[in-house]
């Protein structure tokens, strides 16, 4: 390895390491600035080893930018609210999920699946009465959901509830 390549490689490696430390501390704005400086400073390097690190910096810059400027989804119809609600439910936010499910219902989306999801979200909030209300709506829309709900582990807390058993038998 030539002396010039060694110096350039050492320099970019040090800068890259500092940028990674910021990134791992979740200081995405500073990390992004550091990665951008690396990309610009070494864009004309003639050494493959330096360009490889510079390319990695581009990847991390994109991730840092995604963290500092998250994409805002525009929910245009009731189905969009259902899928965002599913996302929120899976992410552990039953409250946000219920808000999206309510928006879908308000938009005339009154499918059995929606009520199934609303029941599951209510149960995650320890709202057994709300869950039972939505289970009732769900099975009235589609009686086939009785089997699904009865066998779904999410509804296990209701397995001893007589009202629940009446709805799913």
Residue 19: pLDDT over 90: yes
End of a domain among 45, 68, 91? Answer: 68
Same domain, 88 and 163: yes
State mean pLDDT over 122-131: 95
Return d(Cα 39, Cα 47) in angstroms, integer: 14
End of a domain among 27, 45, 68? Answer: 68
- In tens, the pLDDT along 66-75 reads 999 877 778 8
- Only one residue has tokens 């089997």, namely 147
Return d(Cα 128, Cα 114) in angstroms, integer: 17
Same domain, 83 and 27: no
Of residues 109, 62, 122, 120, the one with CA closest to residue 82: 109
Residue 48: pLDDT over 80: yes
| Tally of domains within the chain | 2
State mean pLDDT over 100-115: 93
Residue 125: pLDDT over 90: yes
CB 122 within 8 Å of CB 134: yes
CB 143 within 8 Å of CB 111: no
Identify whether 123 is part of a domain: yes
Identify whether 54 is part of a domain: yes
pLDDT, residue 61, reads 95
CB 121 within 8 Å of CB 88: no
Same domain, 56 and 87: no
Sorting pLDDT into bands at 50, 70 and 90, what band is 1?
low
CA 11 to chain centre: 37
Identify whether 73 is part of a domain: no
Domain of 58 in residue numbering reads as: 3-68
CB 97 within 8 Å of CB 123: no
- Only one residue has tokens 């070494």, namely 42
State mean pLDDT over 21-39: 95
Tell me the whole-structure pTM to 2 decimals: 0.62
């Amino acid at each position: 390895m030539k002396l010039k390549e060694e110096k350039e490689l050492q320099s970019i490696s040090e800068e890259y390491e500092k940028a990674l430390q910021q990134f791992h501390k979740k200081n995405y704005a500073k990390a992004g600035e550091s990665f951008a400086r690396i990309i610009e400073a070494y864009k004309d390097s003639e050494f493959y080893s330096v360009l490889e690190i510079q390319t990695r910096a581009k990847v991390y810059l994109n991730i840092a930018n995604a963290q500092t400027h998250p994409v805002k989804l525009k929910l245009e119809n009731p189905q969009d609210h259902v899928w965002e609600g599913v996302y929120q439910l899976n992410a552990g936010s039953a409250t946000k999920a219920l808000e999206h499910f309510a928006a879908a219902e308000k938009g005339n989306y009154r499918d059995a699946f929606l009520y199934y999801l609303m029941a599951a979200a209510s149960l995650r909030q320890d709202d057994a009465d709300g869950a039972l209300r939505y289970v009732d709506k769900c099975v009235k829309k589609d009686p086939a959901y009785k089997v699904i709900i009865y066998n779904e582990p999410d509804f296990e807390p209701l397995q001893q509830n007589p009202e629940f058993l009446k709805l799913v038998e």
